[in-house]
């Protein structure tokens, strides 16, 4: 079900719920939408909220696919605890902060992650290795419209999980090569005995 440019009126159960260009009021979030086990796919794009989007997610805690457009980092403060069943996550955001990445790291069922951001600093991009390292992860796609992520930084992130593909701005990023230690025998060094002879 998709709602556009209106105050939503939802009849449950629905497996798919899309909120686009509408306004969520606290009275709607708290009273009109009960906790539901039926919603599996949720889209929140261009949604104006008078309260945190997190309150909506608390009522859709069994979603497996989420597309979310947010601007403020405080809207990501408690999302992970609502999304332990989430497998596909698409995030549209102006700037990526460490708080957001830490929340993603706690989504233990996450398999596919798509991030579309205007700004993504090199320091914060490095933190994605924690998300890549999740054993369930299969693919991570990042698009940054402003700024540049150095290739060596991206390759280091890709090395966190070689079973998970990393695509940065449409380009597949290869992991760094594995370092292979030499297995040859250590050369034995004969001990040298120093003999002191008394001279007359």
| pLDDT given for residue 38 in this prediction | 73
pLDDT digits (tens, 9 = 90+) for 41-68: 888 776 655 445 666 777 777 889 999 8
64 falls within a domain: no
56 falls within a domain: no
194 falls within a domain: no
CA angle 77, 106, 50 (to 5 degrees): 25
74 falls within a domain: no
- Residue partners of 68: CB distance under 8 A and separation at least 6: 43, 44, 45, 53, 89, 90, 91, 92
Per-residue pLDDT of the chain (200 residues; tens, 9 = 90+): 444 444 444 444 467 777 665 555 544 444 455 566 678 888 877 665 544 566 677 777 788 999 988 765 555 556 677 788 999 999 998 899 898 899 899 999 999 999 999 999 999 999 999 999 999 999 999 999 998 999 999 999 999 999 999 999 999 999 998 876 656 555 554 444 444 444 54
CB atoms within 10 A of CB 110: 23
| pLDDT given for residue 76 in this prediction | 59
Looking at the structure of the chain, the number of domains it has is 1
72 falls within a domain: no
| pLDDT given for residue 30 in this prediction | 45
Q: Quick one: which of 130, 171, 114, 132 has its CA closest to 148?
A: 171
58 falls within a domain: no
- Buried b / exposed e over 24-47, threshold 16 CB at 10 Å, is beeebbeeebeebeebbbbbbbeb
CB atoms within 10 A of CB 137: 21
| pLDDT given for residue 175 in this prediction | 94
| pLDDT given for residue 178 in this prediction | 80
Look up the domain containing 104 and give its range.
96-178
185 falls within a domain: no
| pLDDT given for residue 119 in this prediction | 93
How far, in Å, CA of 178 to CA of 175, rounded?
9
């Amino acid at each position: 079900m998709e709602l556009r440019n209106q105050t939503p009126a939802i009849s449950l159960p629905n497996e798919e719920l899309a909120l686009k260009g509408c306004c969520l009021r606290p009275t709607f979030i708290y009273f009109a939408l009960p906790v539901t086990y039926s919603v599996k796919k949720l889209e929140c794009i261009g949604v104006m909220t008078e309260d945190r989007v997190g309150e909506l997610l608390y009522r859709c805690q069994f979603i497996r696919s989420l597309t979310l457009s947010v601007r403020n980092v405080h809207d990501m403060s408690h999302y992970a605890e609502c999304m332990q069943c989430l497998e596909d996550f698409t995030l549209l955001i102006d700037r990526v902060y460490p708080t957001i990445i830490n929340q993603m790291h706690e989504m233990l069922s996450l398999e596919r992650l798509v991030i579309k951001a205007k700004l993504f600093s090199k320091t914060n991009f490095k933190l994605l290795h924690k998300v890549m390292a999740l054993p369930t992860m299969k693919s991570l796609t990042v698009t940054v419209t402003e700024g540049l992520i150095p290739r060596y930084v991206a390759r280091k992130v890709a090395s966190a999980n070689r079973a998970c593909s990393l695509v940065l701005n449409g380009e597949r990023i290869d992991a760094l090569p594995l370092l292979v230690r030499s297995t040859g025998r250590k050369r034995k060094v004969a001990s040298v005995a120093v003999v002191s002879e008394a001279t007359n």
